[in-house]
Structure 1
Amino acid sequence: MAKQPMLKFVTVDRDMPEKRDADVRNHDFNEIYAEFAEAKAAEQASRCSQCGVPYCQSHCPLHNNIPDWLRMTATGRLKEAYEISQSTNTFPEICGRICPQDRLCEGNCVIEQSGHGTVTIGSVEKYITDTAWENGWVTPITPAQERTESVGIIGAGPGGLAAADRLRRAGIQVTVYDRYDRAGGLLTYGIPGFKLEKDIVMRRNKQLEDSGVVFKMNCQVGVNISFADIRAAHDAVVIATGVYKTRDLQGPGSSADGIVNAIDYLTASNKLSFGDAVPEIESGELDAQGKKVVVIGGGDTAMDCVRTAIRQGAESVKCLYRRDRANMPGSQRETQNAEEEGVVFEWLAAPKGFAGEPVSGVMVQRMRLGQPDASGRQSPEVIEGADYVEPADLVIKALGFEPEDLPTLWDQPELAVTRWGTVKAQFTTGATDMDGVYAVGDIVRGASLVVWAIKDGRDCADAIIDRLNASAAVAAE
């Protein structure tokens, strides 16, 4: 009788890929986790309990068939594991690196609930697709038949690229318009290399380009080309711009030099990693070298900023967050990594103003948690008389992002938006009230996860394909 390849969680402990020592990794922008070896990936995958109701799958926005590709990995059938993984996820090697698995698949693993430690799903997912690339299993898309219909996609981030991939597989012609000089959106310029090395993103961009996707870079809608022209040139248009407008800080001194936006800071750092000339870093404006850095915010963007500042050689790095550790929105895994690298967290602390011009300090109010707000989270309340000044030469605002005013920027007053400024669109298809115009990702959801943008892009592409098929059927009658 064949030996049972799965359910080894009772005898095999949870094990993550080796993490580089903090004193070494905080001097470069390389990824901090090593790759699983084949034997270790198979061993960890074999811990899966193959449960009848896989909560890991149901709590994944893409509903990835995790138990099946874990079983394939455990039994050495890696090409099949890749094919299963790729069938539901356009970029599994990216999700394996940057998804907050502790809040999604791994956080809902059945054996985790029973005290055995979750299966290391993200690390196995990353290993499967990295192996696929190494073995040449990932190839350019070759549709069975080319079609004449075309779709224009505005934004080369994860949502737009996921839609492009899906549409090209159906033979539809795709043109992607993006304001930056490289495709990838926040994957390229928003997320630091220590979480997602850029060659991982660039090879996906090249795969799409080799698959026939046309990229028009350095192309800002409303400046270099009008939305009306894009709409006229295509059978459908997908808005996938993301949200890039930084939530601002009010209070005395908030306009002082030395107070910068997180997206500007991270983009400059990532451009430098590509070898680009970055005047803002050369001038010191967006360089933390030798400075006392204070980052304001508690999400994943704040974690990216504090860890980048450490690597730039900051004298000290502190993160101010108005709630406590248990209530922060960012990944606990990222917080731990930041602490290991030398970041100091000031919990229950909020800025009320800034001292100096250029900035020399943050005026901080001590907080306590009061009654829950509308979202159910406890609202922070000011502790009177507990204010202090935190010295700072560089303050980075990482308070989240808001949508730009697209109807005004694009001269499209009929493009309906919500009271938050996000585009009104159906969550299932991305369809807006404008005929043939769709929207996906953060520009619909507000600032969210990459995995949700990928899901939106795939679902939207399927809806467009259905629409084009229906139109073709009517024309053929």
Structure 2
Amino acid sequence: MAKQPMLKFVQVNRDMPTKREAADRRDDFHEIYAEFADAKAREQASRCSQCGVPYCQTHCPLHNNIPDWLRLTAEGRLREAYELSQATNTFPEICGRICPQDRLCEGNCVIEQSGHGTVTIGAVEKYITDTAWEEGWVEPIAPSRERGESVGIIGAGPGGLAAADVLRRAGVQVTVYDRYDRAGGLLTYGIPGFKLEKDVVMRRNAQLEQGGVTFRLNCDVGEDISFDDIRSAHDAVIIATGVYKSRDMEAPGSGLEGIEKAIDFLTASNRENFGDDVPEFDSGRLNAKGKRVVVIGGGDTAMDCVRTSIRQGATSVKCLYRRDRANMPGSQREVNNAEEEGVVFEWLSAPRAFLGQQHVTGVKVQKMRLGAPDTTGRQAPEVIEGADYVEDADLVIKALGFEPEALPALWDQPDLAVTRWGTVKADFTTGATQMPGVYAVGDIVRGASLVVWAIRDGRDCAEAILDRFGSGAALAAE
């Protein structure tokens, strides 16, 4: 009888890939985790309990067949593991790097609930597809036949690119319009390299372009081309713009120099790492070097800002969040990484005012306590009167989240229905809007959310469009 390759969680402890020491990784933007070796990947995959009800799969937005590709990895059948992984996920090597596994698949692992430590699902997922690229198993997009229908996609972020991939594999003609000079959206310009090295994203962009996807970059819809022109040029249009309008806060002194938006700060850093000419970085405006930095916010964007500031050479980095550690929305893994690198978190703290004459010199901070739960069940923060203090600051970065742009006004489309939050009204399964032939996916429908949800939306929308065109699903499966 063959030796049982799985259920080894009792004998084998959870083990993550080696993490670079904080002192080493503080000075560069390379990813902080090393790659699994083949033997280690097999070992960690073998810890899966192969449970009858795989909660890891249920809690994955893409419903990836995680237990099966873990078993194939444990058995050394890595190419089959890759093929199974990519059958449900357009960008598994990206999700393996940036998904908050502690809140999704790994956070719902059955053996984690029994006290044995979750399976390292994300690290194995990353290893499988990185190996597939190295071994040449990632095949070019090659439709079995070309189709006459065309789809225009506005936005080259994860939702738009996932839709483009599915449609192009079915032979549909696809054109992606994006305002930036590189495709990828937040994968390219929002997420720092220490979480997602940019060659990983550029490799996927190249695959799509080589497979026949047409990219029209540096193309701002509403200025360089009208929405009506795009709509008239294609049989269907997908809106996948994401949400890029930064939430702001009203406080005395908020107009001082040195108070910046997170998206501007992160974009400048990523452009500088690409080797682009970035005047705002070179001038020091969007550069944390030698500065006392205060970041306001508790989500993953705030974590990206504090860790980027460390790497740029800030003299100190502090993060203000109005709730406590247990109630912050960002990944706890990211908080731990930030603390290792020297970031100081000031919990139950919120800005009351910004100090300075022309340029910010400090933040007046009000201390908070958690009171009664709000409508979502979270405890609402309350101000502790008389407990204010001042945090010195040369650079303040507001990471308060994102809102949708006013697309009906920007694109002169009053018939494009939006919610009271400004997101596009669309069917959550198909992405169909109330405008015939117009679909919407990702954050522009959901509000600021996860990359993996955008991928799910893009894939589902593409399948719905193929069904509308007729015989699409069968062609896509060939």
So what's the TM-score if we normalise by structure 1?
0.98
Which residue does 1:234 correspond to in 2?
A: 234
Q: Distance in 1 between matches of 2:66 and 2:97?
A: 16
Which residue does 1:138 correspond to in 2?
A: 138
Q: Distance in 1 between matches of 2:141 and 2:243?
A: 29
What is the CA deviation profile of residues 232-284 of structure 1, one whole-angstrom value per residue up to 9, with x for unaligned ones? 00000000000000000111000110000000000000001101011001100
Does residue 1:183 correspond to 2:207, yes or no? no
Matches within 5 A, 1:256-271: 256-271=256-271
Which residue does 2:435 correspond to in 1?
A: 434
Matches within 5 A, 1:190-339: 190-339=190-339
Q: Distance in 2 between matches of 1:179 and 1:261?
A: 19
CA shift, 1:375, in A, is 1.1
SS in 1 for 2:470: helix
Q: Distance in 2 between matches of 1:139 and 1:401?
A: 36
Which residue does 2:462 correspond to in 1?
A: 461
Which residue does 2:104 correspond to in 1?
A: 104
Which residue does 1:29 correspond to in 2?
A: 29
Q: Distance in 2 between matches of 1:389 and 1:191?
A: 30
Does residue 1:409 correspond to 2:410, yes or no? yes
CA shift, 1:140, in A, is 1.4
SS in 2 for 1:9: coil
Which residue does 1:374 correspond to in 2?
A: 375
Q: Percent identity?
A: 81
Letter in 2 for 1:57: Q
What is the CA deviation profile of residues 64-83 of structure 1, one whole-angstrom value per residue up to 9, with x for unaligned ones? 00000000000000000000
Letter in 2 for 1:403: P
Letter in 2 for 1:437: V
SS in 2 for 1:165: helix
What is the CA deviation profile of residues 343-377 of structure 1, one whole-angstrom value per residue up to 9, with x for unaligned ones? 00000000111000200001111000001111111
Which residue does 2:78 correspond to in 1?
A: 78
Q: Distance in 1 between matches of 2:248 and 2:39?
A: 49
Q: Which runs of 5 or more residues in structure 2 are unaligned?
A: 473-478
Q: Distance in 2 between matches of 1:253 and 1:329?
A: 27
The total of aligned residue pairs comes to 471
SS in 1 for 2:118: coil
Which residue does 2:476 correspond to in 1?
A: none
Letter in 1 for 2:64: N
CA shift, 1:169, in A, is 1.1
Q: Distance in 2 between matches of 1:389 and 1:115?
A: 43
Where do 4+ consecutive residues of structure 1 move more than 4 Å? none
CA shift, 1:389, in A, is 1.1
Which residue does 1:446 correspond to in 2?
A: 447
Q: Which runs of 5 or more residues in structure 1 are unaligned?
A: 472-477
What is the CA deviation profile of residues 414-452 of structure 1, one whole-angstrom value per residue up to 9, with x for unaligned ones? 100000000000000000000000000000000000000
Letter in 2 for 1:300: D
So what's the TM-score if we normalise by structure 2?
0.98
Matches within 5 A, 1:20-169: 20-169=20-169
CA shift, 1:303, in A, is 0.1
Which residue does 1:475 correspond to in 2?
A: none
Q: Distance in 1 between matches of 2:364 and 2:246?
A: 21
Q: Distance in 2 between matches of 1:270 and 1:440?
A: 25
SS in 1 for 2:181: coil
CA shift, 1:470, in A, is 7.4
Q: Distance in 1 between matches of 2:421 and 2:370?
A: 26
SS in 2 for 1:456: helix
Letter in 1 for 2:247: R
Q: Distance in 1 between matches of 2:145 and 2:379?
A: 55
Q: Distance in 2 between matches of 1:101 and 1:353?
A: 36
Q: Cα RMSD (Å) of the superposition?
A: 0.7
Q: Distance in 2 between matches of 1:375 and 1:243?
A: 23
Which residue does 1:389 correspond to in 2?
A: 390
